Amino acid sequence: MKPSWLRSASSRRLPVVPDEASIARMRGAVFRERAGLPRGAFSGPWAPFRLGFVVACLGALLFFGVRLARPTDREAGPLVTEGGVEFERLGRKDRPDEVAFTDGSTLKLAGGGSVVALVSSSREFSVLLEKGHLEVAVTPGGPRRWVIEAKWARIEVVGTRFAVDRNERRVRVEVREGVVIVRGAGLAEGVVRLTRDEAIEVPVTVAEVAAPESESSVDSVGSVDSVGSVDSEVDVPAPESLAVESAEGGEPSASRARPDARLTPDGWFEEADRARARGDWSLAESHLERIVVTHPSHPRAVLAAYTLGVVRLRRARVDAARESFERVLELGPSRSLREDALLRLVEIEAGRGNVAAARERAREYHAWFPAGRHEAAIRRLVSPHGDVAP
Amino acid sequence: MTSSGPFLRLVAGAGSEIDDAELARRGQLGDRLALEALYDRHVRVVYARAARLLGRTSEAEDATQDAFVEAFRDLARLRDTGRFGSWLLGIVVHQVHRRYRRRRLLARLGLDRGDDDARLEVIAVGMGAEERADLGRVDLVLAKLPADVRIAWMLRYVEGLSLVEVAESTSCSLATVKRRIARAEREFARVFGPFEAEETP
C-alpha cells in the first residue's frame, strides 16, 4: 500500500497541460529547425562554443568582482529570512516562533502551533498554518503574492498586518491593517474581502464534519439552554456557521447549507444566509427574526440577533436595527459580539442625532472595553469635532 | 514528401486510424504530415513529463522542442517504429538530463534564475492544503537529490513507469536504476518515515 504522500505524487493527479500558444510555438520551432532555419543563439553546431564564450565572459566578470547577480538573485529568488536561509517551518520546540524576512515581513506564531512553507518563489510565498495563532505582517509592494493556507480557509494578502488562528473547528482571520482576501468552501460566495478591523470565522466545511450533530427535531435544539452556552457560539461556532464581525460597516456573511436542517434554528440561519447572499433581505430578516423570537436560548440566537440588526440597517430600518442590537446585549453575547453591537448602537444614535444616547452607549462601551478595538471609531462618532468628550 | 499528405491529415485529425508505427514509418520516408501527426499526438504527454521532471515550464518547453527535433532528425535510425512512444520518452529524459547539467553549471556561476513554477506542490491544482504540504516536502527531498537519482525516482513513482521502462528511458541497467531508486527512497524515508511502495516490475 502506497503512503498517501506517494499517492499524491502520481502524475495522474498532477496534470501539466501546455496552452495552445505553447504548442504552436514549439511546433513552429520544431519544423523550422527541420527546414534548416536558425532557431537561436544557443542551438546548432556552434552552440557549445557560443555558450562557452558567454560562460567565460561571465566568469571573468565574477573574477573581477563585479557580482551583480547576487543582489538580483536575492530580489528575484525565493524569499529568505534575515539569516539568509529559505524559510521552512515555524513551531519546532527548540527554535524561535518568530521569523523576519529580508523584505521586512514577519511571521509570529503562538499557541503551540506550526507553520510549514509550501511555496517560496519569486512570484509567490505560501505557507500552511497547521495549527495555532499566526501573526502576519507583510511589507506592501513586494513582488510576491502571499498566501496563508489554513485547511478550511485560504488567505491572500495585499500588504497588510493580520492574524490567523486555526483550531480543530474553525479558522479565524482578523485584519489589523490593509486588505486580505479570504477564500473557503465554508463561505457562501466562496470568498470574502476583509479590511482593517474586520474579522471572520471560517468553519469546518460540511464534508469535514466527521460526526454531524443530531438535528432531528426542533425539540432537541430547543433543549439547548443556558445563557452561558451562548458565549461559545462566536468563539467556537457550530461547524457550518460563519460570522463576519465588522466594525466599519461590513456584514455577517453566509454559511454552507445542510439540506436536512431546515426546520431547526440552524436551518433557518442557513436559509437566512442564502437569502442574504441572493440579496433577498426581507426573507433573511424573516428567518433571523424567527430564531430570535422563538429560540432565544439557542446558541445561535445572539448571532442571529446581530445579523438581524445588520440586515435591518441594510434595509434602512434603523429603529428595528437598534432593537436588534439591544437584543444582542440582552442575550449575553461573547465579548467580541458585544463590542461590535455597542459600536452599532453608537453609530445608530449618533446618526439619528441622539447625542445623549450615543454618549451613553459610548460610556457603556468604554466601561466594557477600556482599550477596545473600536475606541477610535466611537470617539470619532461621539465627538466628531473633538469638542465633546464621551 | 509523399503523396499521401491530404489523406494523412484527415485521418490524423480524426483520431487513431493510423498508429504510431505507420506514422513513424511514413515520417522516415519524409512525410511532413506524418511527423506533424506524431507531434500532435505526443506533444502534451512529452511536455507534461518534461515539466514534472524539470519543475520548470520554461525549460520543459525547450526540452520538448529539442526532443522532437532530435527524434525527427534521428527517426531513420528507429528500426521498430512501433516503439516510437517509448523511444521518444528516452529522448525526453536525455534532454531533461542535459538541462539539469546546464542548471547545475549556471547555479555554480550564480546565474540560475529559473522559476520552479512546475514543482509538484505548485502543479497540484485541486488538491487540499495537506496534500500540497506533503508534495512540498517531496519537492524539498527531490531538490537535494542528484539529477539521475531524482529522474529515476520520478519516472518510477510519479510517472508510473515499470523498472524496465525506467532503465530503457534512462539508458541504464536495471541494477543501476534500482540502486538509484533505493537511494531516493532512503531520503524519503528519512522525511516521511519508512514505507513500502508497491512492487511492480
Q: In the prediction, which pLDDT does B45 show?
A: 93
CA-based nearest residue in chain A for residue B68 = A30
Q: Is pLDDT at A219 greater than 70 in this prediction?
A: no
Q: In the prediction, which pLDDT does B72 show?
A: 93
Q: In the prediction, which pLDDT does A213 show?
A: 36
Q: In the prediction, which pLDDT does B200 show?
A: 52
Q: In the prediction, which pLDDT does A221 show?
A: 29
The residues of chain B scoring below 50 in pLDDT are 1-16
Model confidence pLDDT, tens digit, residues A33-55: 777 655 555 655 556 667 888 88
Indicate yes or no: CB of B43 within 8 angstroms of CB of A27: yes
Closest chain A C-alpha to B124 CA, distance in angstroms:
5
E strands, A138-236, are: 145-149, 154-157, 161-166, 170-177, 180-183, 191-194, 199-203
Q: In the prediction, which pLDDT does B87 show?
A: 94
CB A153 within 8 A of CB A173: yes
Q: In the prediction, which pLDDT does A318 show?
A: 86
Q: In the prediction, which pLDDT does B89 show?
A: 92
CA-based nearest residue in chain A for residue B38 = A27
Q: Which of residues 89-148 of A touch B (CB under 8 A)?
A: 116-119, 121-123, 128, 130
Q: Is pLDDT at A263 greater than 50 in this prediction?
A: yes
Grid cell, residue B83, equals 516503439
Q: In the prediction, which pLDDT does A104 show?
A: 85
Model confidence pLDDT, tens digit, residues A130-142: 888 899 998 877 7
Grid cell, residue A23, equals 504548442
Q: Is pLDDT at A261 greater than 60 in this prediction?
A: no
Indicate yes or no: CB of B52 within 8 angstroms of CB of A10: no
Q: In the prediction, which pLDDT does B181 show?
A: 93
Q: Is pLDDT at A344 greater than 50 in this prediction?
A: yes
Model confidence pLDDT, tens digit, residues B88-139: 999 999 999 999 998 888 888 888 777 788 888 888 877 888 888 888 888 8
Is A39 or A278 the better-scoring residue by pLDDT?
A: A278
- Between CA A268 and CA A253 the distance in angstroms is 14
- Between CA A129 and CA A89 the distance in angstroms is 10
Contacts of A325 (CB under 8 A, 6+ apart): A305, A306, A309, A341, A342, A344, A345, A348
Contacts of A355 (CB under 8 A, 6+ apart): A349, A382, A388
Q: In the prediction, which pLDDT does B148 show?
A: 94
Is the Cα dihedral A176, A252, A230, A359 positive or negative? positive
Per-residue pLDDT averaged across A149-170, rounded? 83
Between A and B, how many CB-CB pairs are < 8 A? Answer: 144
H or E element at residue A111 = strand A106-120
A124-137 and A89-90 strand pairing:
unpaired
Closest chain A C-alpha to B148 CA, distance in angstroms:
18
Query: For a pLDDT cut of 70, what percent of chain A falls above it?
Result: 74
Q: In the prediction, which pLDDT does A336 show?
A: 83
Within 8 A of B59 by CB-CB distance, chain A residues are: none
Query: For a pLDDT cut of 90, what percent of chain A falls above it?
Result: 5
Per DSSP, the three-state class of A179 is coil
Q: How confident is the model at residue A8 (pLDDT cuts 50, 70, 90)?
A: confident
**Which has the minimum average pLDDT: A73-82, A162-171, A296-305?**
A73-82
- Between CA A284 and CA A280 the distance in angstroms is 6
- Between CA B133 and CA A119 the distance in angstroms is 9
Q: How confident is the model at residue A234 (pLDDT cuts 50, 70, 90)?
A: very low
